[in-house]
Amino acid sequence: MAGRTVKKDGSSWYFVLTIGKKENSKPKQIKRRGFKTKQEALKAMNELEHTINQGTYVEPSKTTFKEYLERWLEDRQTRVKKQTLETYSWLVKKHVIPIIGNVELSSLNAMVIQQLLTKLAKDQCLSDENIQKVYTLINASLKQAERWGLIVKNPAALVDRPKATKKQVKVWDVPEVTTFLEHAKESRYYIAFLIGVTTGMRQGEILALQWKDIDFENGFLRVTQILSHDGKEILPYTKTKSGTRTIDLPDEIITELKKHKVRIAKEKLAAGPHLYSDLDLVVCSEIGTSTNAGNIRRAFNSAIEKANVPKIRFHDLRHTHATLLLKQGANPKIVAERLGHADTRITLDTYSHLLPSIQKETAKKFGKMLFGSSESKDEKIENVN
């Protein structure tokens, strides 16, 4: 760039960025004011220069929100995780652009944004959490547009972040779990269901699990990666530091995993080296490729119908695992570690509806330990009378 200037103007700072020359040979400059500190002005200038160098800079004139969001998503490619970008792209293309994409960026205001959020909530086409994500990405994109000088002020800053109504998780009890597993044994994805309910692993973690991650001798597995939403890539686990973890397995699961490994080996032999893609996956297709999440969902729902148990999502196997452990009296810290929660508070908050019954049961057990069973106490009272 030919020139970069950051100066103070009264109580605020401004920058001037020279980006070439006009037709009359005079410098072509972009000037932005109103920064509280020199660091803020410098950061905004660097970001603006980056977008110009990348070819993603948008002139503020008649640009629509659709055009701006598409370019903003391009800029996000090198700044956020791939899965986050996939989620943002899906929300933008399916739920933002169809409704307010044609609004000019300069005409976008708080009322338009609020109307979008209200419509999404009214139509019930997205979960509360995803509507919050819509707000987050709109706010982030417009905050960037403000820094780039495309708009005077971010209108999303005037809109309250939508609230998410906490929904009680749906889970199975022990008889329902055993009934389901009995009817799911013939399914190709039985092992995925079994791992889900006995480890609490997320679907993406299960579908990325490799044989090298299982220690048969010591009876545990390692969670180190996750399958991308499109099912095309196995990605290193970066959700949280606690996401990478070790989970101990019951002996019965080790036995089932050994049986499943034999089945996979037979399929590999039958397909032959030219057809079989050996990705070392525990849950895979008949030719070794990664499993489509849609296939898992259909097989799971089919097994539920056969077992005639309450319908839940595959992800609810994770909730079922945690619920059964807590009801059994497991330490919440251990449950949090198995689930890969960053903090025990997340576990307790998610399963807070269980706490009253767990407390009551704990009180009974404590009383029984200290004073003996209620039956023996009643007998003593009768003997006294």
> Tens digit of pLDDT for each residue in 93-150?
999 999 999 999 988 899 999 999 999 999 988 888 899 999 999 999 999 998 887 8
Question: CA-to-CA distance for 348 and 70, rounded, in angstroms?
Answer: 39
User: Does residue 136 or residue 22 have the better pLDDT?
Assistant: 136
Q: What is the pLDDT of residues 230-245, one digit of tens each?
A: 777 888 875 556 678 9
Residue-level length of the chain: 385
**174-343: which CATH topology?**
hpI Integrase; Chain A (1.10.443)
Whole-prediction pTM value?
Answer: 0.68
Q: Two tokens at 21?
A: 């020359």
Q: Two tokens at 142?
A: 């417009």
Q: Which residue has the tokens 């997205």?
A: 126
**59-165: which CATH topology?**
DNA polymerase; domain 1 (1.10.150)
Amino acid present at 294: G
Burial class (CB in 10 A: 0-12, 13-18, 19+), 300: buried
Alpha-carbon dihedral sign for residues 270, 273, 277, 278: positive
User: Does residue 77 or residue 133 have the better pLDDT?
Assistant: 133
Q: Which residue has the tokens 């525990």?
A: 282
**So what's the pLDDT on residue 44?**
85
Residue 23 above 80 pLDDT? no
Beta strands 214-215; 245-248: pairing state: unpaired
Domain ranges of the chain: 1-55, 59-165, 174-343, 351-385
Q: Two tokens at 338?
A: 């198995």
Question: CA-to-CA distance for 131 and 124, rounded, in angstroms?
Answer: 10
**DSSP characters over 184-199:** HTTSTTHHHHHHHHHH
206: how many CB neighbours lie within 10 A of its CB? 27
Question: Could you tell me which residues come within 8 angstroms of residue 244 by beta carbon, excluding any fewer than 6 positions away?
Answer: 222, 223, 224, 237, 340
Residue 184 above 90 pLDDT? yes
